[in-house]
Amino acid sequence: MSIENRITPLKRLSGLRECISRNGFARILEAHSGLSGLVVENARAEVNGRVIEYDGIWESSLTDSATKGLPDASIVGNDSRAHTIDEILNVTTKPIIVDGDTGGEASQFEYMVKNLERLGVSAIIIEDKVFPKRNSLDGSARQDLEDPVVFSERIRAGKEVVINDDFMIIARLESLIAGAGLADALDRAEQYIHAGVDGIMIHSSDKRPDDILAFAEAYKPLCQRLGRRPVLVCVPTTYNTITDAQLVDCGFNIIIHANHLLRSAYKAMNQAAMAILESGRSLEVDPLCAPVAEIFVTVGADRINRKDRERADSRRLIESERNGAAAAPGQRR
């Protein structure tokens, strides 16, 4: 129930670092609304006799934009994004990582960081492409990389306004997406680590994980040489034959499943819309639909009904006691 998911911003903010410190990694799933946030919050599975769940929520620029019927091209403004983030925060307790696109210019990024930290967000990931960005999975789009010196300045600007050391700024490397190669990615990672970044995300649209794993292997001596190891992040959307456990074994600390709730919901909605048209009724759609009662339970309507009954019972009891007290003097005559 959404009303029962209560947590202070400070406690939530610290949750991501605590999870990584405790388990060595965090498994994150995308959400794009309050309801999808509740799906992530409540998901549990028993695997090999052990109950597992997601460790946090990814608030994605792609899925946030798509829910508004817009492309992921820096069109949805920060105020609109903040509204979606607040919807998810309002009904969940898990740590949230926000997709910050490019972060804007340095002064804009400062305000973005300040606001997200105030809300209790655990981390922001910004990508080293020029504004306005184009989605990394769009093979037909141009992918122009930002000057790493400019991007490093943006990182430093964000770090300067952070109050709580648990808030993380993570740099997303787009070198492999743009075709610049592994050496460019490692060079950028070194510059961003010098700038004070808390994490490095290496991104790839390849269907095989080879480039990602090569980067992870080269990341180890790089961090040893620099004397500091920011957390390593990946998004296995296209190279999804590799398991979370295998990625952890290769050194990844945060694994983000970045758009799957929206994509699966979109497919189901299309199937339902077509089935109603083709059948001339909604009966055939029932197997695709959750019962309305289940939705009521998820969002907490059953709790409201229970509270209504309890309050009605309480009012009746008070009224009965009041009537009994009023009748007592007449009984004594």
Beta carbons of 12 and 19 less than 8 angstroms apart: no
Residue 187 designated active-site: no
Q: Are strands 123-127 and 96-99 parallel, antiparallel or unpaired?
A: parallel
Collapsing DSSP to helix, strand or coil, 237 comes out as coil
**Which candidate, 6, 28, 3, places its Cα nearest to that of 123?**
28
Check 55, 64, 72, 198 and give the catalytic one.
72
**Token digits of residue 177:** 């997406």
In angstroms, the CA 16 to CA 95 distance is: 6
Strands (DSSP E) contained in the chain are 26-31, 44-47, 50-53, 56-59, 96-99, 123-127, 168-173, 199-202, 231-234, 254-257
Asked if 198 and 123 touch (Cβ cutoff 8 Å), the reply is yes
What count of Cα atoms within 13 Å lies in the side-chain half-sphere of residue 271? 12
Please identify every residue annotated as catalytic. 72
